[in-house]
């Protein structure tokens, strides 16, 4: 393919390292100026592409890219938006390819989770059907670690590290506060259908008596009586009990333990499972209770990034550019684990269409037989992913997350009307 422009976009819930991927994409693309012209970024994911709201990353200097690499959140803006199937909404694709053509875009890199991989597959298929010369590459990220085709997802290792550290420090706190009625602490973490972050909180414990004493994951139906018995036994033995709860835990009949609201498309907003569990313990057992919901904190903690996660986030960004230049359409650079100890990995390229919209859940052999904790196999898998630290620069006691000046590209088309 002749020298052409590259469009990068971020999608879905952001992570502490998605901008490290962005910085790696931009740097790798600049290094191939023989094949890649301008590196553009879409504001707010595919919505920015449809709206022709594009950023020229050429305005970002070397210092900006270094700052971007260590900045949490999504510097170019993200979105949760699914393209319609091409046969149901051809006008949507007409607009998208009009934008691509107007800005000479021949490479499209979409940085997201399993839903975003579906977007990559749709655009790739539409480009082939239209005869438009475009190479589409999915770039993985998600704190949920639920992407198929990869051993782990960039973004998860740092969220896992945050959950483990939060439980470790809260556990030390609650252990120091004796109570005649016993004390219980509940940490509610993200995890709609997959309990990877909850499982990772188990890395806080070195022995069976250290927090978390119980880990509740969506993969295991919530058994109220068995759970309460385990809590009571732990409090009687230690005087306290620390519990990690995935937000998406469900009862045996499949209903969510707690949900907050529904959006206009019917998507459920989760939250409150930890409070529900804590109040259940107090009502049934009488123990003093506290709960915490880190919410965005667990995916935004740029001050506590896993070095392994950071390295993998950068690696998939570079590999995505290499795949695009090689004409490897509709693939995703994925992490392949080669060994646990020492931890070694490399990059492979599964077909995006084969993994789009699939959901990788915590496997049964990672869950203890009683469903209330993780196994040693889970610990062996999880531990390498939180190793090492990559700290941002600090100024006046807080991280120096600079605000980047993002230069918009002049629009070539009329305003988009969905």
| Residue 144 annotated among the catalytic residues of the structure | yes
* Catalytic option among 144, 146, 309, 329: 144
- Residue indicated by tokens 């629009």: 411
Tokens representing 260 are: 């907050």
Q: Which residues pair with 407 in a beta bridge?
A: 56
- Please state, in angstroms and rounded to a whole number, the distance separating the CA atoms of residues 337 and 403: 36
Tokens representing 89 are: 């909404």
- If we measure between CA atoms, which residue out of 79, 132, 66, 67 comes closest to residue 110? 79
Helix (H) or strand (E) holding 55: strand 54-56
User: In sequence order, what DSSP letters do the residues of 258-291 get, joined into one string?
Assistant: -EEEE-TT-PEEE--HHHHHHHHHHHHH--EEEE
Number of other residues whose CB lies within 10 A of the CB of residue 312: 29
- Please state, in angstroms and rounded to a whole number, the distance separating the CA atoms of residues 43 and 51: 9
Contact by Cβ (8 Å): 60, 404: yes
Identify the DSSP state of 133: -
- If we measure between CA atoms, which residue out of 78, 29, 34, 35 comes closest to residue 58? 29
Contact by Cβ (8 Å): 106, 262: no
Q: Which residues pair with 134 in a beta bridge?
A: none
How far is residue 140 from each of residues 21, 105, 144, 410, measured CA to CA in Å? 9, 21, 11, 29
Sheet of strand 135-140: strand arrangement:
135-140, 105-112, 4-10, 36-42, 54-56, 407-408
Contact by Cβ (8 Å): 111, 22: yes
Catalytic residue numbers, as ranges: 144
């Amino acid at each position: 393919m002749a020298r052409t422009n590259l469009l990068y976009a971020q999608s879905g819930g952001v992570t502490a390292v998605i901008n490290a991927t962005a910085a790696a994409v931009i740097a790798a693309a600049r290094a191939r100026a023989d094949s890649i012209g301008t590196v553009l970024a879409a504001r707010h994911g595919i919505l920015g592409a449809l709206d022709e709201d594009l950023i020229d990353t050429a305005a970002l200097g070397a210092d900006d890219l270094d700052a971007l690499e260590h900045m949490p959140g999504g510097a170019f803006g993200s979105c949760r938006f699914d393209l319609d199937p091409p046969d149901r909404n051809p006008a949507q694709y007409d607009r998208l390819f009009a934008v691509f053509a107007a800005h000479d875009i021949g490479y499209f890199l979409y940085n997201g989770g399993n839903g975003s991989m579906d977007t990559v597959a749709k655009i790739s298929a539409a480009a082939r059907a239209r005869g438009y010369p475009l190479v589409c590459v999915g770039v993985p990220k998600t704190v949920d670690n639920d992407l198929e085709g990869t051993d782990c997802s960039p973004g998860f290792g740092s969220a896992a590290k945050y959950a483990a550290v939060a439980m470790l420090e809260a556990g030390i706190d609650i252990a120091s506060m004796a109570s005649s009625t016993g004390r219980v602490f509940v940490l509610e973490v993200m995890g709609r259908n997959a309990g990877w972050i909850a499982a990772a909180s188990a890395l806080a414990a070195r022995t069976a008596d250290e927090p978390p004493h119980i880990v509740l994951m969506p993969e295991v139906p919530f058994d109220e009586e068995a759970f309460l018995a385990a809590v009571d036994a732990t409090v009687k033995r230690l005087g306290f009990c620390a519990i990690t709860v995935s937000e998406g835990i469900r009862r045996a009949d499949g209903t969510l333990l707690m949900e907050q609201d529904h959006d206009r498309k019917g998507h459920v907003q989760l939250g409150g499972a930890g409070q529900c569990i804590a109040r259940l313990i107090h009502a049934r057992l009488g123990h003093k209770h506290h709960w915490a919901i880190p919410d965005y904190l667990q995916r935004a903690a740029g001050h506590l990034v896993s070095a392994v996660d950071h390295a993998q986030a950068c690696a998939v960004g570079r590999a995505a550019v290499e795949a695009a230049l090689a004409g490897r359409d509709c693939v995703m650079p994925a992490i392949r684990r080669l060994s646990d100890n020492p931890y070694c990995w490399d990059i492979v390229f599964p077909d995006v269409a084969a993994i789009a919209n699939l959901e990788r859940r915590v496997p049964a052999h990672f869950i203890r037989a009683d469903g209330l904790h993780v196994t040693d196999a889970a610990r062996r898998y999880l531990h390498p992913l939180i190793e090492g630290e990559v700290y941002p620069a600090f100024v006046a006691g807080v991280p120096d997350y600079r605000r980047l000046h993002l230069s918009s590209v002049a629009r070539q088309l009329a305003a988009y009307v969905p």
